[in-house]
Amino acid sequence: MALKGNLRDFSTTQLLNLINLARKTGTLTIQHDGESAQMSFREGKLIYAFMGEEAENHLAQILHNAGKLSEEQARIIQVRAKGTSDKQLGHMLIQRGHITQSDIIQSVRQNVLDTVYKLFTWGEGLFRFDANKLPSPGHITIPIDLESVIMEGSRRLKEWEILQEELPDLDISLRFTDRPDARLRNINLTVEEWRVVSFVNPRNTIRQIARANNLSDFEIRRIVYGMLQAGLVEVVRPARPQVQAPPVGRQAGSKQDTPKEIEQQSPAVKRSVVVRLIDRIRGL
Amino acid sequence: MQAVKMVITGPFSAGKTQFIGSISEIDVVSTERKISSTAEQIKDTTTVAMDFGRITVGDDLVLYLFGTPGQRRFDFMWDILSQGMLGFVVMVDSTKPETFREAKRVLETFESYAATPYVVAANKQDLEDAWEPEDLRIILRLRPEVKILPCVANDKESVKNVLLELLYSILEELDKAEAA
């Protein structure tokens, strides 16, 4: 089924969060103000991204941008290695001792991240996720955990209104998520975020955590929003009362059952009402 | 005569009226009027007060289905409609991501009104642009025990399935309450 819409209604952060949690594989294409960007994912991990038209020998440009190749070197490579895939080009540069494998991995990773972080600033744009569509085998793909990407992208979200809307109530508590793949050690946290993490406990409200760490409402919202989107923590809802009796009232025009009368009905009566409803609807 | 009530809620144009209309034994009684807001001109009329449908179970028992108005300016009606409900269904138009945030808000509001069981109906699953129910579960941050069900509001069997799943959830809650 299609996964498409507008960033105006469903933000980059929400999309990445969905792709991460649903462990999706495929390519997300976003178009915004005449620009186009693509991000590819394998089982919920970001593996590749580029913006604009993909040029041949993309790697040479990436290495130049990362300061690993001079402009002249990049130009010569682009001319001489025409028709060579990024993977082949990478092998060639390593074998000739121009560059190390680590240089390539770091540069490609940074390029992917820079591309994705730009997308966080796009307030609107049409998006479409094509399941199972992946870059051709000649591309260099590097798996990157989306939790960290979402955290950093969220840090760059400057819009107070968005944070305000997403987290209107500071008098709620947080707890660490039970998701087994959420591990603090895999996520890069700032000093401030670590301080907040140390106070995460269902007994502490977000407002109390902010006070304890001398953080403004905006700062605490930004930090908590990032942690929520990364799936590190979740909101603790106020304790719900015990299940109420199925409210059984009287037909209009006759005496109405009061809440007290409804509560006084035995579980057997309530169950009988529900079972009768099930039988009736099954028979419709 | 005993009467029980279920509430069908959700954002504007999620398919609530159609849902009730598919299963009600009476023509849905809805108070509709022409839409004035440009932003809401997806359809010609919209529900202002509520939709009202009925399923007679026997001489002594009847089920009423109430649909809530979708627009924010009628929020005051929600609290009134939720009083005494047996359970509720949150309808979501699976093809309109722009309404998911509003669906979450509606869901949380109704959850705060009463500790009654509910299910989420991912409507318009017959359309190509529909988002998958499990994707909606993540987006709406549903707890694992909350059911999200594929739905086509103009298909009676699909509507029956949603209502039955809600009733099964209510039975489960009763079991838990009795065991406690």
Q: Quick: pLDDT tens for A54-88.
A: 665 589 888 987 888 887 888 888 888 888 889 99
Identify the residue among B61, B85, B89, B142 best suited for mutation to test binding to A, counting A beta carbons within 10 A and taking the highest.
Answer: B61
pLDDT at A216: 72
B2-179 maps to CATH 3.50.50.60: no
Distance from CA of A212 to the nearest CA of B (A): 28
Q: Which residues of A161-173 are buried (b: 16+ CB within 10 A; e: fewer)?
A: ebbeebbeeeebb
pLDDT at B44: 52
A234 → chain B, closest CA residue? B141
Q: Where do the structural domains in chain B lie, given as residue ranges?
A: 2-179
Query: Regarding predicted confidence, which is higher, B16 or A259?
Result: B16
Q: How confident is the model at residue A151 (pLDDT cuts 50, 70, 90)?
A: confident
Q: Quick: pLDDT tens for B3-13.
A: 788 999 999 88
To the nearest whole percent, how much of chain A has pLDDT over 70?
A: 81
- Mean residue pLDDT of chain A comes to 80
Q: Quick: pLDDT tens for B37-88.
A: 554 445 555 555 567 788 999 888 889 898 887 666 666 667 777 777 899 9
With an 8 Å Cβ cutoff, the interface of chain A facing chain B consists of 1-6, 8-10, 14, 17-18, 21-22, 234, 237, 240-244, 246-252, 254, 259, 262, 267, 270-271, 273-278, 280-282, 284
Residue A248 has pLDDT above 60, yes or no: no
Q: How confident is the model at residue A255 (pLDDT cuts 50, 70, 90)?
A: very low
pLDDT at A182: 46
Task: Rounding to the nearest 10 degrees, give the CA dihedral for residues A259, A261, A264, A269.
Answer: -100
Query: Regarding predicted confidence, which is higher, A155 or A111?
Result: A111
ipTM of the complex: 0.85
Tokens for B2? 């005993």
Residue A238 has pLDDT above 80, yes or no: no
Q: CB of B67 within 8 A of CB of B51?
A: yes
Q: What is the 3-state secondary structure (H, E, C) of chain B?
A: CEEEEEEEECCCCCCHHHHHHHHCCCCCEEEEEECCCHHHCCCCEEEEEEEEEEEEEECCEEEEEEECCCCHHHCHHHHHHHCCCCEEEEEEECCCHHHHHHHHHHHHHHHHHCCCCEEEEEECCCCCCCCCHHHHHHHCCCCCCCEEEECCCCCHHHHHHHHHHHHHHHHHHHHHHHHC
pLDDT at A257: 42
Query: Regarding predicted confidence, which is higher, B133 or B5?
Result: B133
Chain A hits for B3, Cβ within 8 Å: 248-252
Residue B137 has pLDDT above 60, yes or no: yes
Distance from CA of B84 to the nearest CA of A (A): 5
Q: What is the mean pLDDT of residues A227-256?
A: 55
Which residue of B4, B116, B130 is in closest CB contact with A273?
B4
Inter-chain CB proximity B174 and A270 less than 8 Å: yes
Residue A117 has pLDDT above 50, yes or no: yes
Q: How confident is the model at residue A253 (pLDDT cuts 50, 70, 90)?
A: very low
Pairwise CA distance, residues A1 & A43, whole Å: 17
pLDDT at A40: 96
Among residues A12, A187, A3, the alpha carbon closest in space to that of A117 is found at A12
Q: Quick: pLDDT tens for A94-115.
A: 998 889 999 999 999 988 998 8
| Most confidently modeled range among A76-80, B31-35, B53-57, B163-167 | B163-167
Inter-chain CB proximity B115 and A248 less than 8 Å: no
Does an H or E element contain A250, and which? strand A248-250
Query: Regarding predicted confidence, which is higher, B139 or A219?
Result: B139
Chain B hits for A125, Cβ within 8 Å: none
Which residue of A2, A244, A281 is in closest CB contact with B163?
A281
pLDDT at A94: 92
- Mean residue pLDDT of chain B comes to 84
A3 → chain B, closest CA residue? B131
CATH of A158-236, one of 1.10.3470.10, 3.40.1410.10, 3.30.360.10, 1.10.10.10: 1.10.10.10
pLDDT at A225: 87
